[in-house]
């Protein structure tokens, strides 16, 4: 059985990296071939994951503070020592970083643990100094996971004798979205914000202070409004033997999106509204 460690900023948050880490941890732990420990740098002791996490997955709460890049620089040695100590304690075989910042840190580990760096952004999206540090550090990683094949070409400096490059591409074709989306999405950011604000006021009678939240979705003319409590109050609900965190006022949220969501639409309207293709595998 292999022991896997995954390093993340704060596992209690509800963003995409946290979702990816909990999903990967659950898959590995459920397989019966791996034991997983999540190393959460900024979480406090006992903070619960936003997404469902297999109870057998361990979490190491480092309880460090995040007061900007200078603070992170000052505490980088302490952070690395804590990582190494956890690797020894859990007899970690493979450690996985989730951003270029963590990947650079993991490259400094000189024990026998295998080091995998997962890229969170495309190569040029990171600051210039990070690109320099990656060129210096990534040759010491055992593998680098990139977002696209084109982006992987930027990592020619990865040690070919030691490291490997893997590509996990995004499943949605950006060119299809550019073709289908309104040209609105290519406007400058200030114009986008002003348009959102103007559309949101349509459901708040022009007031800046409201107990409602507005979401503008493509096409921009479509506006959804729902009580603010849908974003601030949560409960846990069990679905197919898994526990999920959902809005406490889920009924109001679902009604704002779908109307009478407990009623089936007409037969002719029961079609796939998503740009995805599903395949059934026969065993």
The domain ranges of the chain are 2-167, 174-263
Residue 8 confidence (pLDDT)? 94
pLDDT band with cut points at 50, 70 and 90 for residue 205: low
Q: How many CB atoms lie within 10 A of CB 259?
A: 10
**Residue 68: what are its φ and ψ, rounded to 5°?**
105, 175
Report pLDDT for 143: 85
What is the structure's pLDDT at 234? 86
Does the CA dihedral 82-84-85-87 come out positive or negative?
A: positive
User: With 80 as the cut, is the pLDDT of residue 60 above it?
Assistant: yes
- Show the tokens assigned to 278: 């599903």
Q: Which whole number is the average pLDDT over 221-248?
A: 79
Give residue 206's pLDDT. 62
Average pLDDT on 201-224 reads 61
- Residues 66-97 have pLDDT tens digits of 777 677 777 888 999 999 999 999 999 999 99
27 confidence band (pLDDT: 50, 70, 90): confident
- CA of residue 1 relative to chain centroid, distance: 27
Q: Indicate the pLDDT class of residue 52, thresholds 50, 70 and 90.
A: confident
Provide, rounded to the nearest whole percent, the portion of the chain with pLDDT above 90: 19
Query: Which CATH code is given to the segment(s) 2-167?
Result: 3.40.50.2000
């Amino acid at each position: 059985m292999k022991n896997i460690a995954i390093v993340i900023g704060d596992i209690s948050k509800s963003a995409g990296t946290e979702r990816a880490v909990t999903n990967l941890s659950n898959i590995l732990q459920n397989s019966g071939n791996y034991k997983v420990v999540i190393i959460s740098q900024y979480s406090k002791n006992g903070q619960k994951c936003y997404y469902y996490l297999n109870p057998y997955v361990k979490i190491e709460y480092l309880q460090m503070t995040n007061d900007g890049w200078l603070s992170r620089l000052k505490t980088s040695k302490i952070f690395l020592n804590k990582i190494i100590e956890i690797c020894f304690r859990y007899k970690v075989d493979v450690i996985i970083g989730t951003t270029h910042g963590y990947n650079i840190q993991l490259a400094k580990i000189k024990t026998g643990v295998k080091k995998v760096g997962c890229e969170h952004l495309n190569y040029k999206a990171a600051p210039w100094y990070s690109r320099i540090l990656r060129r210096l550090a990534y040759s010491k990683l055992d593998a680098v996971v990139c977002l696209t094949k084109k982006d992987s070409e930027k990592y020619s400096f990865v040690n070919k004798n030691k490291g490997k490059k893997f590509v996990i591409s995004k499943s949605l074709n950006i060119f299809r979205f550019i073709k289908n989306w309104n040209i609105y999405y290519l406007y400058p950011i200030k114009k986008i914000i002003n348009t959102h604000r103007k559309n949101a006021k349509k459901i708040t009678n022009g007031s800046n202070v409201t107990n409602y939240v507005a979401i503008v979705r493509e096409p921009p003319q479509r506006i959804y409004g729902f009580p603010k409590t849908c974003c601030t109050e949560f409960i846990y609900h069990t679905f197919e033997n898994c526990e999920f965190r959902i809005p406490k006022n889920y009924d109001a949220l679902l009604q704002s999106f779908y109307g009478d969501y407990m009623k089936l639409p007409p037969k002719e309207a029961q079609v796939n509204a998503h740009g995805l293709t599903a395949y059934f595998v026969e065993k």
